[in-house]
Amino acid sequence: MLTFTGKSVYSAVAIGKISIFKRRDTEVKREHISDIDAEKARVAKAKEYSLAQLQTIYDKALKEVGEANAQIFSIHMMMLDDEDYNDSINNIIETQQVNAEYAIAVTADNFAEMFATMEDAYMQARSADVKDISNRMIANLSADNIEQSVTDDKVIICADDLAPSETVSLDKEKVLAFVTAHGSSNSHTAILARNMNIPAIIGVGDEFLAQIKDGQNAAVDGFTGEIYIEPDEDTLARMTKKQAEDIAQKKLLLELKGKENVTLDGTKVNIYANIGGVGNIGAVLQNDAGGIGLFRSEFLYLENDDYPTEEQQFTAYKKVLESMAGKKVIIRTLDIGADKQVDYFDLAKEENPALGYRAIRICLTRPEIFKTQLRALYRASAYGNLGIMFPMIISVSEVEKALQFCEAVKAELKTENIEYSDNVEIGIMIETPAAAMISDKLAPMVDFFSVGTNDLTQYTLACDRQNSNLEEFCDTHHEAILRLIELSAQNAHKHGAWIGICGELAADTTLTETFLRMGIDEFSVSPGFVLKVRNEVRNIDLNK
Ligand code: PEP
Ligand code: MG
């Protein structure tokens, strides 16, 4: 038996077989091939696919950023179609009898060097483009080679790390637990695991992957952060018992269903749930959440290969609102960027993506995307009790602009005779120190604040939430964070707004009393934590 230890992000026990998550291999290897025609056919197929992708990107860019900015994609299409480029690839395959990936990589290097040495600055710049189109071709060549690691049985997924897009693409029905060598507890992957009520351990270290094999038996202890490989009889018996006890304990909490979120002294609070998509609603209802305090709408974008249309979004939002039958549903507008990357957005690579072009910054500068989402949201508002909130706010002017978008969209719907509700609450996330510090100015502009402690922590403590080496420095209870939350609560109430917490700290029951004393009105937590927080609230006496 081998034992590895990491940090638990969801406390539960899983026992089952290991499945190592295999990612597409992007490293190009030189391989000898015997069927030259088949290899050329692969190139032709990848080219056709790449051209179609580029056409889609071009069309979107044309609509959103105009002809001048979209032009680069038509240049890419022309380069892909270039006779010399294609002849070079096919010649290398033919004369050297090598695989398509290698032929493309060599061609890319040759052409990039040729462009780089030209006198003309415009031609020099094409050097990066030829690399770009070649990388696209190589990625598309291997698209049909992605290894599927999940079998028919439920498995414990083990990986070096998982990106949010990879996590959402896994078939949840088949995942017993996640264990990753890297990662941090506030990362979106960890949040997704929590939302799915799946035991998850992160940061078990590099040795882990080197020592495990597909199909081995394992037991995951999401309480202690341990994973046992080929557990011995005693360990297996202990883990089976612990699993049964955990299930029984969670059943006990279910007795709190239907009970009020009220402290011993009679203070009432709302306990809502966080979701990433329509698929989480079952868990919200099962755990008796009073509403949805955070719908991370970007997961609709992450699950898609292209921008979700107004109709697709409308259908999803309407479904959530109808399922919640009049209970509050707060949908956060698109929060893409940083670790939540979507290829079709074609965002430039950034040195510091968490401090980069993301969330509201994308929405305000790519108005077509924002307007499409707001139209879908307002149309859906006719079917329930909607709240809309904006992420990553740092200034008054951003809120002003976002509100202007809302007004414009409402006016548009009115002229088109399309129904929407006049009672949509508007809120902003307090997830930057800037927003907390100017919360006195922001509060009069909105109906509510929702504190995103995950980002507020990373920006206040200068600790990248993706960096697993910083866990010991990233003190989520740091006085600076608590003071910023308290300041925001005071300012919200001064101006008649309410305040909730929707970051992971909302589920930290060691802070529930502190937050209640600050006047926090709402906690929004992963569905599996709703009853745990209710239990805590019901045992607190604020008069003591
Ligand atoms: C947060 O930052 O606390 C938050 C709720 O948003 P997200 O985790 O999606 O960034
Ligand atoms: Mg955030």
pLDDT per residue over 495-505, tens digit each?
999 999 999 99
Taking the CA atoms of residue 448, residue 536, residue 268 and residue 493 in that order, the dihedral angle to the nearest 10 degrees is: -30
Tell me which residues have their CB closer than 6 angstroms to ligand 1: 191, 294, 296, 335, 431, 452-455, 502-503
Q: Is 363 a catalytic residue?
A: no
Determine contact, residues 457/436, Cβ cutoff 8 Å: no
Residues with Cβ–ion distance below 5 A, ligand 2:
431, 452, 455
Tell me the pLDDT band of 122, cut-offs 50, 70 and 90: confident
Confidence of residue 519 (pLDDT cuts 50, 70, 90): very high
Token pair in block for residue 201: 């351990």
Phi and psi, residue 390, nearest 5°: -110, 135
Q: Return left, alpha or beta for 496; rule: phi > 0 is left, psi -120 to 50 is alpha, else beta.
A: left
pLDDT computed for residue 61 by the predictor: 64
| CA 359–ligand 2 middle distance (angstroms) | 9
- From the list 182, 188, 363, 406, the catalytic residue is 188
Beta bridge partners of 218: 16, 229
The predicted structure's pLDDT at residue 143:
59
The answer to whether the CB of 153 falls within 8 A of the CB of 174 is: yes
Residue with tokens 């990753």: 180
CB contact at 8 A, 369 and 335: no
Closest CA to 287 of 268, 269, 273, 275: 273
Which whole number is the average pLDDT over 354-382? 96
**pLDDT, position 29:** 86
Q: Which amino acid is at 530?
A: V
More confident residue, 477 or 22: 477
d(C-alpha 239, C-alpha 4), whole Å: 15
Distance CA 302, CA 310 (A): 16
- Nearest residue (CA) to ligand 1, atom 4: 452
Q: Examine the pLDDT at 90 and tell me if it is beyond 80.
A: yes
C-alpha to C-alpha distance for 143 and 148, rounded to whole angstroms: 12
pLDDT reading at 147 higher than 70: no
Q: Are 528 and 286 in contact (CB under 8 A)?
A: no
Asked if pLDDT for residue 23 goes beyond 70, the answer is: no
pLDDT, average across residues 255-283: 94
Nearest to 451 by CA among 542, 533, 521: 521
Q: What is the pLDDT of residue 260?
A: 97
Report the nearest atom of ligand 1 relative to the CA of 504.
Answer: 3
